[in-house]
Amino acid sequence: MLGGKAGWNGIILQILFVAVLVWVGYEIIANARSNLAAQRITSGFGFLNNTAGFDVNQALISYSGSDSYSRVLMVGILNTLLVSVIGIVLATILGFLVALGRLSPNALLSRVSGAYVELIRNLPLLFQILFWYLAVLAALPGPRQSISLFSTFFLNNRGFIVPRPIEEPGFMPFLIALGVAIVASIGLRFYARRELFVRGHAMRIWPYVLGMLIGLPLIAMLVYGAPVAFEVPVLKGFNFAGGSRIIPELVALTLALTMYTASFIAEVVRAGILSVHKGQMEAGLSLGLSRGTVLRLIVVPQALRVILPPLTNQYLNLTKNSSLAVAIGYPDLVSVFAGTTMSQTGQAIEIIGITMGVYLALSLITSAMMSFYSWRLGKRLGA
Amino acid sequence: MKRVTLALTLALAPVLASVGAQAETLKTVKDRGMLACGVSQGLPGFSNPDDKGNWTGLDVDVCRAIAAAIFNDPTKVKFVPLSAKDRFTALQSGEVDVLSRNTTWTLSRDTSLGANFAGITYYDGQGFMVKKALKVNSALELNSASVCVQTGTTTEQNLADYFKANKMKYEVIAFAGADETVKAYESGRCDVFTTDVSGLYAERLKLSNPADHVVLPEVISKEPLGPMVRHGDDQWFDIVKWTLFGLITAEEMGVTQANVDDMAKSDKPDFKRAFGTDGNLGEQLGLTKDWFSRIVKAVGNYGEMYERNVGAGSKLQIARGLNQLWNKGGLQYAPPIR
């Protein structure tokens, strides 16, 4: 029966099953509501408009204690997104490099890459996060003994402090010049490819591109003045004032998530590349292409079809694993919303519900984007 | 992930629980043969397992006293260690019968959590601890400091209020557990560690060199700590409330763990009422006539509890201060047992 054609009996069974499911769902909600009312526990989503009254040490949007809980939710989501996006990009790059290293004919490189994968993927992630946070970053000196680079960049156990750019009058012309240079470069590349494919005439365009990308903004700067001024951090009281700071919690979490996930991505990529018949590589080499070019143009595009589905899994894992942030005080969604907000309002059902909804949405969006990419790739490869 | 799973289980509990069970906590406890008591994950002086694994502390003794009043046996308690952010959900879902976990009584907690505070076991206030080497003498000198705090506490909000009111800047780093918070403070991630003053003294004992750290004189908030019970069971609410009042009354009457049997023979009318040799006040509570002597026999009176756990007889050495009896200059006051 399973998965086969059902017939009338099957259809009736299915309708019954759905009815039971709806009834169970309704009972759960009704029971929870009456229990909450009986215990006089506040329910509903009205709390989102209440004042939060606590501070957060990293917010990508402006936030203070007098903002509402819905603002806290946004701060939490953005912090989770920040660490996930950085983690995904870095883990993908590192994962590909390690996989290529492991497949390399160079014995040393392949052994080192193999050791990396076996070591990192076999240690618990929470342990790695705590290792980076407590063993590595906490060992840095305090603010007064900061490691400084040209007295403008400072590294200490409060984070990495860099000068902050402040907009000057020359900022807009600079931006416009840069934009023009980029558009012109893309146009030039388009033209060069057409020349190559239609007339078989190869052009060397990089000197022009480089000239435009550097030259145009430089002219804008000379005419309108510097686009930005830098606010240099100075030690004031307990911490540095001025400048921007990358907090050590973010660094520890990103490092651990990147390295951990990269070890899995490396294996996924290796499997994908090995799934491409070795005749493809041999054919490419015998045409006189270099190993790198064969990989880039022939092997990897075919391997991607195998790589993408498990790669999506790794991206989803990384996003969800970022909730371990709570162990080291990084203000992600679970920490500020499902943690502090839940404890202050006591509205566990609503808050856990919202949190689940956010993670679900993030995961679905990620897989949808990956599916779209894989669909486009499939079309290009003519599959 | 473990925390999330726990939170989820706790969140779903009211969905699955039935309504009827809420009203009969005393019966549930008696049927189970154990009192389920929510405590902290380890706060010396309040609730902390000793080297043999026995729970000790002021909050723990409150639970032992309740168990003694019900079962005449202070060991019939199951202690459930809870983090600050999981504690209310555990009480709401019925995982614990009473939450005796250095929890501050506030209006919003009294109204929106579906729970009631049954009294005040300890009058506390929030303070700051810094390293001596920083040479800070007042909390007003803390502008631009980094502050470590445990998440899910009133402490976070008091901190925000205090720095805002005094127009000072700060950076907050909030951790889920008390141990992580202290570790981050000790490693130098923050300049300041803030929590209730009693907690500062308690956590200072865990640091590798307690003498290098100093508690600043400012107390920036009122933190009355007390046990909590669920809404909807007034009998249970009364039992917890009067167990606490019994402990305080015992100190006022001069009844101690050592002399309780002699005192029970007293002819004074108020003694006869309390010990149940006259009237049936204990039975009105749903307990037995001798509830009062059971409690004192098990844990001593409030003063003895205090000295043993946080006062002169303990490592914490916290003076009685506000927690002295009302007739000795403090705030501890119990309505009459009559």
Asked if pLDDT for residue B152 goes beyond 90, the answer is no
Mean pLDDT of A159-182: 82
Task: Give contacts of A 123-152 with B, CB under 8 A.
Answer: 134, 138, 142
Asked if pLDDT for residue B18 goes beyond 90, the answer is no
Asked if pLDDT for residue B10 goes beyond 60, the answer is no
- Please tell me the distance in Å from A204's CA to the nearest CA on chain B: 53
Nearest residue on chain B to A156, judged by CA atoms?
B189
Residue B12's pLDDT band, with cuts at 50, 70 and 90, is low
Asked if pLDDT for residue B8 goes beyond 70, the answer is no
Q: From the list A56, A327, A338, which residue is nearest B7 (CB)?
A: A338
Asked if pLDDT for residue A89 goes beyond 90, the answer is yes
Asked if pLDDT for residue A74 goes beyond 90, the answer is yes
Residue A150's pLDDT band, with cuts at 50, 70 and 90, is confident
The CA distance from B28 to B34, in Å, is: 9
Contact A327 B180 (CB under 8 A): yes
Interface probe for A, chosen from B2, B15, B128, B169 (most Cβ of A below 10 Å), is B15
| Chain B CB contacts of A236 below 8 Å | 144
Q: Any CB–CB contact under 8 A between A310 and chain B?
A: no
The predicted structure's pLDDT at residue A206: 79
The CA distance from B236 to A90, in Å, is: 56
Would strands B115-117 and B228-230 be described as parallel, antiparallel, or unpaired? antiparallel
The predicted structure's pLDDT at residue A105: 87
Percent of chain A at pLDDT > 90 equals 38
Which of A36-45, B22-31, B215-224 is predicted least confidently?
Answer: A36-45
Contact B153 A343 (CB under 8 A): yes
| Chain B CB contacts of A238 below 8 Å | 134, 142-146, 191
Residue A43's pLDDT band, with cuts at 50, 70 and 90, is confident
The CA distance from A206 to A31, in Å, is: 68
- Please tell me the distance in Å from A249's CA to the nearest CA on chain B: 9
Mean pLDDT of A15-30: 91
- Please tell me the distance in Å from B18's CA to the nearest CA on chain A: 7
What residues have CB less than 8 Å from A23, skipping those under 6 apart? none
pLDDT tens digits for range B97-133: 999 998 999 998 888 888 999 999 999 999 999 999 8
Q: In terms of pLDDT, which residue wins out, A145 or A286?
A: A286
Contact B159 A55 (CB under 8 A): yes
Asked if pLDDT for residue B5 goes beyond 60, the answer is no
Residue B21's pLDDT band, with cuts at 50, 70 and 90, is very low
Q: In terms of pLDDT, which residue wins out, A225 or B55?
A: B55
The predicted structure's pLDDT at residue A232: 77
The predicted structure's pLDDT at residue A1: 47
Asked if pLDDT for residue B2 goes beyond 50, the answer is no
Which of A27-31, A117-121, B221-225 is predicted least confidently?
Answer: A27-31
The predicted structure's pLDDT at residue B293: 94
| Chain A CB contacts of B181 below 8 Å | 329
Quick one: tokens of B292?
């009062």
Q: From the list A134, A339, A347, which residue is nearest B176 (CB)?
A: A339
The predicted structure's pLDDT at residue A245: 83
Quick one: tokens of A298?
């022939």
Q: Any CB–CB contact under 8 A between A323 and chain B?
A: yes
The CA distance from B248 to B244, in Å, is: 7
Asked if pLDDT for residue B16 goes beyond 60, the answer is no
Q: What is each CA distance from A379 to A146, A299, A305, A374, in whole angstroms?
A: 54, 17, 11, 9
Q: Any CB–CB contact under 8 A between A324 and chain B?
A: yes
Task: Give contacts of A 19-38 with B, CB under 8 A.
Answer: 28, 31-32, 34-36, 38
Q: H or E segment at B11?
A: helix B2-16
Q: From the list B88, B157, B180, which residue is nearest A346 (CB)?
A: B88
3-state secondary structure of B123: strand
Mean pLDDT of chain B: 89
Q: From the list A31, A65, A134, which residue is nearest B187 (CB)?
A: A134
The CA distance from B186 to B196, in Å, is: 18
Contact B156 A340 (CB under 8 A): yes
Asked if pLDDT for residue B19 goes beyond 50, the answer is no
Nearest residue on chain A to B10, judged by CA atoms?
A348
Percent of chain A at pLDDT > 70 equals 97
Asked if pLDDT for residue A169 goes beyond 90, the answer is no
Q: From the list A158, A241, A335, which residue is nearest B174 (CB)?
A: A335
The predicted structure's pLDDT at residue A9: 83
Nearest residue on chain A to B233, judged by CA atoms?
A39
Mean pLDDT of chain A: 86
Mean pLDDT of A59-81: 90
The CA distance from B59 to B293, in Å, is: 20
Asked if pLDDT for residue A238 goes beyond 90, the answer is no
Residue A241's pLDDT band, with cuts at 50, 70 and 90, is confident
The CA distance from A157 to A248, in Å, is: 7
Q: Which residue stretches of A122-242 are H helix?
A: 125-130, 171-194, 206-224
Q: Any CB–CB contact under 8 A between A352 and chain B?
A: yes
Q: From the list A28, A340, A342, which residue is nearest B15 (CB)?
A: A28
The predicted structure's pLDDT at residue A229: 77
Q: In terms of pLDDT, which residue wins out, B152 or B262?
A: B262
C-beta separation of B225 from B101 below 8 A:
no
The predicted structure's pLDDT at residue A5: 64
Task: Give contacts of A 72-101 with B, CB under 8 A.
Answer: none
Q: Which residues pair with A12 in a beta bridge?
A: none
Q: From the list B15, B143, B172, which residue is nearest A57 (CB)?
A: B172
The predicted structure's pLDDT at residue A28: 87
The predicted structure's pLDDT at residue A272: 93
Interface probe for B, chosen from A156, A244, A343 (most Cβ of B below 10 Å), is A343
Q: From the list B1, B19, B114, which residue is nearest A41 (CB)?
A: B114
Q: From the list A31, A39, A340, which residue is nearest B174 (CB)?
A: A340
Residue A253's pLDDT band, with cuts at 50, 70 and 90, is very high
Mean pLDDT of B275-288: 91
The CA distance from A67 to B152, in Å, is: 17
pLDDT tens digits for range A261-283: 999 999 999 999 999 988 998 99
Contact A31 B89 (CB under 8 A): no
Residue with tokens 């004192």: B296
pTM: 0.77
The predicted structure's pLDDT at residue A364: 94
Q: Which residues pair with B38 in a beta bridge?
A: B80, B99
Quick count: other Cβ atoms within 10 Å of Cβ B32? 12
Most confident of A320-334, B184-198, B234-248: B234-248
Would strands B192-196 and B145-150 be described as parallel, antiparallel, or unpaired? parallel
Contact B170 A55 (CB under 8 A): yes
- Please tell me the distance in Å from A55's CA to the nearest CA on chain B: 6
Residue A374's pLDDT band, with cuts at 50, 70 and 90, is confident
